[in-house]
Chain A
Amino acid sequence: MRPRKLCGAAAAVMVAFSLTSYLASRDASAENNFPQNSDVSETAKRDDAAAAGAFEFLSKVLHHPRCMNCHSSGDFPRQGDDGHQHTMNVRRGVDGHGVAGVKCSSCHQDHNLTGTHVPPGAPGWHLPSVAMPMIWEGLTDRQLCEMFKDPKQNGGRNVDQIVEHMSTPLVLWGWHPGEGRTPIPIAESEFLAKVKEWASKGAACPGNARAR
């Protein structure tokens, strides 16, 4: 009997250990999506409060019209600081690059043109796709943060890839929008530093609050 009991106890310990390990790993990947094996994570110390604070800062930037005009509700881009619907009935299209006959690249070049009232441009000008529209109009900071980290909603990106995406010319166009458009008023370098801070400190999300 004794050996049997010992065996049962060992099995129970092993099951408990496995379950604990599984839950710990699930916590890390599902809730925090903490970057692994990367430059960002290797030097980082997890600090949920600092990460959440950094995201709140990012959220202010992400709600600027230069960002919102491609991340608002509806299957169309928006224009101007008032976010009015893009003229000419321009549509998102399945891949986010427009519909047959009217692509984003029909008018938008890979750089801004000289003068006012001409189409702005950056490499790869497009909206998010229908499958992952990345609409964050009306979301709280926490909801937006969770959307950012969810590969099913963010284009299959992990946190490192989000950091990378945030420094692409299309995103940074918000600071260089061309004549006649209001640039994002926060320094680009400060924004990029906060993106890295958020990721390196564990990419935690802020608590619930009102939508911006």
Chain B
Amino acid sequence: MSMISLKVNGRQHTLELDPETPLLFVLNDELGLRAPKFGCGMAQCGACTVIVRRQAMRSCVMPVSAVREDEVVTLEGLGSAEKPHPIQEAFMAEGAAQCGFCLSGVILTAKAALDEKPQASDEEIREALGGVLCRCFAHLRMLRAIRKYADSRKA
């Protein structure tokens, strides 16, 4: 066990942990953040996605020690119910969710992709989302919401 310092959604935490503990377990169990979900536990489904170093990362396979000094952003860190982030607003406007289990991963992956490539084409957005599975077949509404958000950034 080691003392690990972790910055999540703007807040600094110090926790006693095994450095190999998956980041997801720390977020869910130690910090009570429920947006990142345990889906497959093998980086195959994307439900656990968070943003670290401006990249979408699978927190279920990322040891907490691999975060180092960088900040972790979960869906809770984007916006609140009272003041949602524009990408969250776009998803609400398009009704782009069904069961919602994959939603955190979809939104954060899309945001990371558009932060890196604001002019991403629809095909590039689909490529980015290739590793985030949705079993409810809400893909088309999600893609509309992401396009709406991408276009609003240009404006």
CB within 8 Å of B: which residues of A? Answer: 87-91, 99-103, 105-107, 109-110, 113, 115, 117-119
Contacts and interface: CB of A to CB of B under 8 A. Distances in A.
Interface of B: 42-44, 49, 55-58, 61-63, 66, 109-110, 112-114, 116-117, 120, 124-125, 127-131
A177 B56 CA distance: 24
A102 B131 contact: yes
B42 A118 contact: yes
Nearest to B55: A103
Name the 4 nearest CB pairs between A and B, nearest first: A101-B128, A101-B113, A89-B130, A88-B131
A119 B130 CA distance: 16
A87 B131 CA distance: 8
A117 B109 CA distance: 22
Contacts of A89: 127, 130-131
Given A101-B110, A101-B113, A106 B56 contact: yes
Contacts of B127: 89, 91, 99, 101-102
Contacts of B109: 101-102
A119 B128 CA distance: 18
Nearest to A88: B131
Contacts of A106: 43, 49, 55-58, 131
A123 to B, nearest CB: 12
B97 to A, nearest CB: 19
A99 B130 CA distance: 11
Contacts of B130: 88-90, 102
A4 B127 CA distance: 75
Given A109-B62, A119-B61, A101 B42 contact: no
29 contacts: A88-B44, A88-B131, A99-B113, A99-B124, A99-B128, A100-B112, A100-B128, A101-B109, A101-B112, A101-B116, A102-B128, A103-B55, A105-B57, A106-B49, A106-B57, A106-B131, A107-B43, A107-B58, A107-B61, A107-B131, A109-B61, A109-B63, A109-B66, A110-B66, A115-B42, A118-B43, A118-B61, A119-B42, A119-B61
A103 B129 CA distance: 12
A105 B110 CA distance: 17
A113 B120 CA distance: 32
B118 to A, nearest CB: 10
Q: Name which of A100, A105, A106, A110 has the most chain B CB atoms within 10 A of its CB.
A: A100
A101 B128 CA distance: 5
Given A88-B44, A109-B61, 4 more contacts: A89-B130, A106-B58, A117-B44, A118-B43
